[in-house]
Amino acid sequence: MEIVQAALQEVGRRWERNEVSVAQEHLATAITQRVLAQASLRASYLPANGRRALLACVQGNRHSVGLRIVADTLEIGGWEACFLGADVPNADLLAFASMRRPHLIALSLSLPEQLAPTRDAIRDLRDTLGDDCPPIWVGGLVTLRSDQLWRKLGADGWAVDALGRLAPG
Ligand code: B12
């Protein structure tokens, strides 16, 4: 996980300096996804704990690799992880969460313009699910700017990476 994260950060730095083309970045992402899939086949999984997590990149966020790592880590820890991937519209997230009734919702955001949609999504989830709303955790690049940002979004928790402790249980 450390290797994958460091490699993609280096790609990002080189991309910023125009040393890496869009095609090369796409290739690096595709290789990463393949490596992650192979690693998940070799991992040893804890027995199922009967808990379901719903994971989604918020509306507008196309950076899904980091959340995939979070999903794989939860599965290795015995959770059932339902990974919805990139750019999930708020209305669809809400409908899916209402139907699926997860024990944890993990939302990922990367860019500053994704802060407002995340705040809206968390508010709508709480309004709709009421007392049944599970803990909502957030993470992703933009959340690393301050260790208090997650509170302003209305979330219940935050972690800097997939190794952080996620929610009770
Ligand atoms: C790959 C990549 C892309 C790919 C993503 C492909 C995919 N399927 O994921 C694509 C091509 C789609 C892309 C698009 C863009 N990108 Co981009 N991208 C990257 C790159 C190189 C790597 C991202 C990544 O995978 N990082 C590795 C993962 C493992 O880290 P992570 O996402 O932070 O996730 C970890 C933690 O944050 C945490 N975590 C994440 N989510 C969650 C959730 C919870 C609940 C928890 C607990 C933890 C958690 O755990 C993860 C594992 O440790 C970064 C560079 C970088 N420094 O990150 C730029 C980068 C993020 N992108 C950037 C930009 C500007 C863009 C675009 C705007 C470019 C453009 N002009 O189109 C678009 C925006 C797309 C959008 N609307 O979201 C900038 C953002 C700058 C900023 N303002 O902050 C970066 C930093 C590159 C740069 N240096 O300029 N990008």
**pLDDT score of 161:** 85
Check whether residue 120 and residue 65 sit in a common domain: yes
Q: Which domain holds residue 22?
A: 1-42
For a substitution probing ligand 1, which of 19, 26, 110 has the most ligand atoms within 8 Å of its CB? Answer: 110
User: 98: CA distance to ligand 1 center in Å?
Assistant: 28
105 within ligand 1 shell (Cβ under 6 A): no
**pLDDT score of 162:** 81
Check whether residue 29 and residue 52 sit in a common domain: no
Residues 131, 44: Cα–Cα separation, whole Å: 35
Q: Whose CA is nearest to atom 49 of ligand 1?
A: 139
Residue 133, φ and ψ in degrees, nearest 5 = -70, 125
Per-residue pLDDT of the chain (169 residues; tens, 9 = 90+): 778 888 888 998 998 899 999 899 999 999 999 998 998 899 999 999 999 999 999 999 999 999 999 999 999 999 999 999 999 999 999 999 999 999 999 999 999 999 999 999 999 999 999 999 999 999 999 999 998 999 999 999 999 888 776 655 4
CATH number at residue 144: 3.40.50.280
Check whether residue 36 and residue 97 sit in a common domain: no
**pLDDT score of 167:** 56
Check whether residue 128 and residue 67 sit in a common domain: yes
Check whether residue 139 and residue 71 sit in a common domain: yes
Number of domains observed in the structure of the chain: 2
pTM value > 0.85: yes
Check whether residue 53 and residue 28 sit in a common domain: no
| Cβ atoms of 43 and 73 closer than 8 Å | no
User: 111: CA distance to ligand 1 center in Å?
Assistant: 8
